[in-house]
Chain A
Amino acid sequence: MIQFHNITKRYPGGHEALSNVTLSLQAGEMAFLTGHSGAGKSTLLKIISLIEKPTRGQAILNKINLNTLASSRIPYIRRNIGIIFQDHQLLFDRPVFDNVALPLIIQGYAHHEIAKRTRAALDKVGLLNKEKSMPITLSGGEQQRVGIARAVVHKPMLLLADEPTGNLDPVLSREIMQIFVGFHQVGVSVLVASHDLNLIEELQKPVVTLNRGKIIHNDLERSENSYE
């Protein structure tokens, strides 16, 4: 699903966010990305979601080389990814239903299909009764679940989450992580950046640890024998 070969990302000004990162996530695999803030977790996710381009090295997503991708193709590649943000990035001028339906509208689904899939996604995160609410009236945990529903509504092959539990209490965090595990169980590849080490340990999934842009621990390299 994801293959990084010797990826280096240097920002203008000389700061090297990633140095020589080699990483591979198989289709249907779930893994956690940990490390201190500034270790390069976000940069790694940004390269996968085509927000940043690597300075050196090769990034491949689902057999597509991200280095040489024309910018006009970027939207279509992003449609295979569901992205979950720490601050949800919901649109507060429209109700929950419209927020979740957005990826389907963008991809040109038929009207009845949009309604069906949006309700299914809201059902999965347990917010079916909130479809008409405005996001501002929801709690932090509920808002994050709306964000997840929006990320999965179009059934992406890959889910990326950047500190999805960063603002939530432990109980809510566990709930959110269980939702990700649920998607992993139905065959979606999941990569979650988080520094909630206790929770990660509890979930028993491969972990990749970054420190100052370098991988210092990588379960994925031996995941074939120890986790499958």
Chain B
Amino acid sequence: MSDNKHQHRPNFLHQISAWLLHHFQSLIFSLGKVYRSPSSTLMTVAVIGITLTLPGGFYLLLKNIQSISGDLRASTQITLYLKMDLSTAQAQQFNNQLKDREDIAETVFISNTQALEDFKQNSGFGKSLDHLESNPLPHAVIVLPTPETDTLTIKTLLSKLQALPQVDIAKLDTEWLERLFTIIEIAKRTVIIISLLFSFAVLLIIGNTIRLDIQNRYQEIIVTKLIGATNSFIRRPFLYSGVWYGLFGGLLSWLIVELSLIALSGPISTLNMLYQSQYHLITFGFTDFLIIICFSTLLGLAGSWLAVARHLNEIEPK
């Protein structure tokens, strides 16, 4: 009898293709379920989408702040006021020496004559300054450090420059920069914490949705177990449901952020014009898009896995 039986059993190749087919069927079946109950699915997807929008939006905000602060860092400059007894020629020679240094990207030499001219034009004292017997201003050099320099290196550079014999005063307002960078660091960590919390929330939302789904299909699970379904067979459609929730939630959150950016782009370009700045709003690139989608899909899978692991094995025919 059993030999006769084996002739009817599907062969190995068939089983592999049937296994793939069932994966595909589960994928389509779970998508079909999404399609058949649009309102409840939409609610779940909306909750996931909105929840993921916050970390996504914060991430983008942070990226923008970093790019602005990067510009600021690049524009960090040290002003050197040279000793009064230096002649213009000596000062210019000193300027050339500085230009050759590796830790300095650029220098701008401002002779005391030029400084006086600028002062006359800008200060409003105008002609009254003509009565000065000698120029009270020193020569000055504006030093731009190499762009990638961090705060500490800038400070070292500053003290090195201060030590040079030609320099009277070397000036850098590092305090506000440090404050800014600290604030950015705080913001960065806050974004990480918020992202973790909200990802966890998404995990729970999906887990709970799948749990309810499992409860609703209690009878079906019992019956399929009784006719010989393995746990992995029963698990599959639920896991795919989680994947769909995650995928659609991720897409929605991406869409929400993109739409918000469109809404913000008007005032931002006006602000750009007012400040005459070169600042461009950073939006999601294709890589960011992929990261969001993959991440939310993985969250979906993980959430449904949690629910399935906890609740599916508890269901046994009685």
Chain A residues engaging chain B, CB cutoff 8 angstroms: 27-28, 49, 51, 62, 72, 75-79, 83, 89, 91, 93, 102-103, 105-111, 113, 150-151, 155, 157, 187
Task: Give the total number of A-B pairs whose CB atoms are below 8 A apart.
Answer: 72
Label chain B's interface by main secondary structure. Answer: helix
Chain B residues contacting A51 (CB-CB under 8 Å) are: 226, 316-318
Please measure, in the bound complex, the distance between the C-alpha atom of A49 and the C-alpha atom of B18, giving whole angstroms.
26
Q: Are A108 and B227 in contact (CB under 8 A)?
A: no
Q: Are A110 and B14 in contact (CB under 8 A)?
A: yes
Chain B residues contacting A110 (CB-CB under 8 Å) are: 10, 14, 17-18
Please measure, in the bound complex, the distance between the C-alpha atom of A111 and the C-alpha atom of B20, giving whole angstroms.
12
- 1/0 per residue, CB under 8 A from A, across B277-318: the answer is 000000000000000000000000000000000000000111
Q: Are A109 and B18 in contact (CB under 8 A)?
A: yes
Smallest Cβ distance from B216 to chain A, in angstroms? 10
- 1/0 per residue, CB under 8 A from A, across B22-43: the answer is 1001000000000000000000
* Given A27-B1, A187-B1: A49 in contact with B226 (beta carbons within 8 A): yes
Q: Are B5 and A155 in contact (CB under 8 A)?
A: yes
Contact of A157 among B1, B222, B231 (CB under 8 A): B1
Q: Are A91 and B223 in contact (CB under 8 A)?
A: yes
Q: Are B1 and A107 in contact (CB under 8 A)?
A: no
Contact of A109 among B14, B225, B226, B227 (CB under 8 A): B14
B residues contacting the other copy or chain, number (CB 8 A): 29
Chain A residues contacting B15 (CB-CB under 8 Å) are: 108
Chain B residues engaging chain A, CB cutoff 8 angstroms: 1-2, 5, 8, 10, 14-15, 17-19, 21-22, 25, 219-220, 222-231, 233, 316-318
Among A27, A77, A108, A157, chain B packs the most CB atoms within 10 A around the CB of A108
Q: Are A105 and B10 in contact (CB under 8 A)?
A: no
Smallest Cβ distance from A17 to chain B, in angstroms? 13
Please measure, in the bound complex, the distance between the C-alpha atom of A108 and the C-alpha atom of B21, giving whole angstroms.
9
* Given A49-B226, A91-B223: A108 in contact with B14 (beta carbons within 8 A): yes
Q: Are B10 and A107 in contact (CB under 8 A)?
A: yes
Chain A residues contacting B231 (CB-CB under 8 Å) are: 75
Chain B residues contacting A49 (CB-CB under 8 Å) are: 226
Contact of A83 among B1, B22, B226, B316 (CB under 8 A): B226
Smallest Cβ distance from B288 to chain A, in angstroms? 40
Contact of B227 among A72, A102, A155, A187 (CB under 8 A): A102
Chain A residues contacting B1 (CB-CB under 8 Å) are: 27-28, 157, 187
Contact of B228 among A28, A75, A93 (CB under 8 A): A75
Smallest Cβ distance from B77 to chain A, in angstroms? 70
Smallest Cβ distance from A109 to chain B, in angstroms? 5
Residue of A nearest to B233 (CB): A106
Q: Are A76 and B223 in contact (CB under 8 A)?
A: no
Please measure, in the bound complex, the distance between the C-alpha atom of A109 and the C-alpha atom of B228, giving whole angstroms.
14
Residue of B nearest to A189 (CB): B1
Please measure, in the bound complex, the distance between the C-alpha atom of A109 and the C-alpha atom of B14, giving whole angstroms.
7
- Could you list 12 further interchain pairs (A-B, Cβ under 8 angstroms) beyond the known A72-B230, A102-B227, A106-B233? A28-B1, A51-B316, A75-B230, A75-B231, A78-B228, A89-B226, A91-B223, A106-B230, A107-B10, A109-B14, A110-B14, A110-B18
The 8 tightest CB contacts between A and B, nearest first, are A108-B18, A79-B228, A78-B228, A75-B230, A106-B229, A108-B15, A75-B228, A103-B227
